[in-house]
Amino acid sequence: MPYFYILNPEVSIIIPVKNAAPWLHECLQSIAEQDFSAWECILINDHSDDSTQHIISTFAFYDHRFRQIPNHGSGLIDAYKTSLANARGTWIARMDADDIMPAYRIGKMVEALQVSAPKTVVTGKIHFFPEEEIGVGTKFYQSWLNKRMEKQDHWNWIWRECVIPSPCWMARKTELLHIGNFDELEYPEDYNLAFRFFEHGFTVLGLPEILHYWRQHENRYSRTSNNYSAEKFMNMKWHFFEKLEAPKFKNIYLLGTGDKSKYLIEKLDLRFPQWQWISHKISHSGNTINGRKIQHVSEIDWKPESAIISVLSSIDNHNETYELLAEKSMPVYRFC
């Protein structure tokens, strides 16, 4: 006999699962041990061919709060659609099958949402593990993301990187449905959803506690799939920029000549034919790329109704350049 069954769960935790056998038991056990008990966990098995199904079935047999549902399509986005269509909870929470949540996580998120204004998405600090799998970029992202929780300035940085950790958020189901749920999602789906929250005027409430332990390993989907290529990220940023911001401006300056700039050239040519290329390096001044002359930021005759798209590395320190641009009162969108 099952030892838990919730007729009307308050929270639906959705987890797409694809060949997660090495980590799935630890993940599900961390959910079973939550201080807050009125939840259901919807496990969408995305055609796994390891022992994932056995682990899911075992948890679902002993605890009926775990619900196993096959993916009606294929991939993460279809799994999200399937899970939301079957979710019974008032609140929707995300989790990944290879991660761990502390026992207080769901309870703290519910408490925060219960007293929050409409159109609020709750998240919290994260911690990557194990140490031997964490690279420089990952450490930087952890520090940067946790600083957003402390400063509560998520939307100031939306163009730079995903400000809502993909496996650690909770929102009202009715509001997810109102913004189109997952029907219009595109990869990278987590960043795309963050932009949709931004577009629809949501507030991000970052809690000060570590709410998610984010496992790093070489087989993690975000490391192995082309759905998370640099080109995919840049195309998505441009899509939302063109939709939400571009109508405000007549001219664009592209700052930086690195690899990411190549994904924007054709788009800028079409939307802003007179766009100008600028660099923070004096040595680049006077060079030409794709027929466009590069100027140093200090040489530019700044035009009204203009903005800057920066593709400078987010890890390197470019404070002096950004301070110079701030003096010019130029809007800067950091696509990096």
Digit-coded pLDDT (tens) for 92-149: 999 999 999 999 999 999 999 999 999 999 999 999 999 999 999 899 999 999 999 9
Peptide bond preceding 188 in cis form (omega within 30 of 0): yes
Domain boundaries in the chain?
A: 11-227, 246-334
Q: Specify whether the CB–CB gap between 41 and 71 falls below 8 A.
A: no
- Helix, coil or strand: residue 203: strand
Structure token digits, residue 85: 């269509």
Q: Are the C-beta atoms of residues 280 and 255 closer than 8 Å to each other?
A: yes
Q: Do domains 11-227 and 246-334 have the same CATH topology?
A: no
The single-letter code of the amino acid at 283 is S
CA dist., res. 39 & res. 16, Å (int): 17
CA separation for the pair 169, 120 (Å, rounded): 10
The amino acid that residue 255 corresponds to is L
- Which of helix, strand or coil describes residue 333? strand
Q: Where are the beta strands (DSSP E) in the chain?
A: 11-17, 39-45, 66-70, 91-94, 120-129, 170-172, 203-215, 251-255, 276-279, 288-289, 292-296, 306-310, 332-334
The encoded tokens of residue 121 equal 């998405």
Please say whether the beta carbons of 281 and 289 come within 8 A.
no
Give the DSSP letter string of 11-36: EEEEEEESS-HHHHHHHHHHHHT-S-
* 281 three-class SS: coil
CATH code reported for the domain at 246-334: 3.40.50.20
Residue 298 pLDDT grade (very low, low, confident, very high; cuts 50, 70, 90): confident
CB of 14 closer than 8 Å to CB of 95: yes
- Quote the mean pLDDT of the chain: 92
| Confidence at 1, pLDDT banded by 50, 70, 90 | very low
- The candidate with the shortest Cα–Cα distance to 32, out of 84, 114, 100, 93, is 100
**What's the residue count for the chain?**
336
Model pLDDT for residues 157-209, shown as the tens digit of each residue:
999 999 999 999 999 999 999 987 678 888 999 999 999 999 999 999 999 99
Q: Could you please state the CATH topology (level 3) that the domain comprising 11-227 is classified under.
A: Spore Coat Polysaccharide Biosynthesis Protein SpsA; Chain A (3.90.550)
Per-residue pLDDT, averaged over 261-267, amounts to 94
Residue 54 tokens read as 């056995």
pTM: 0.93
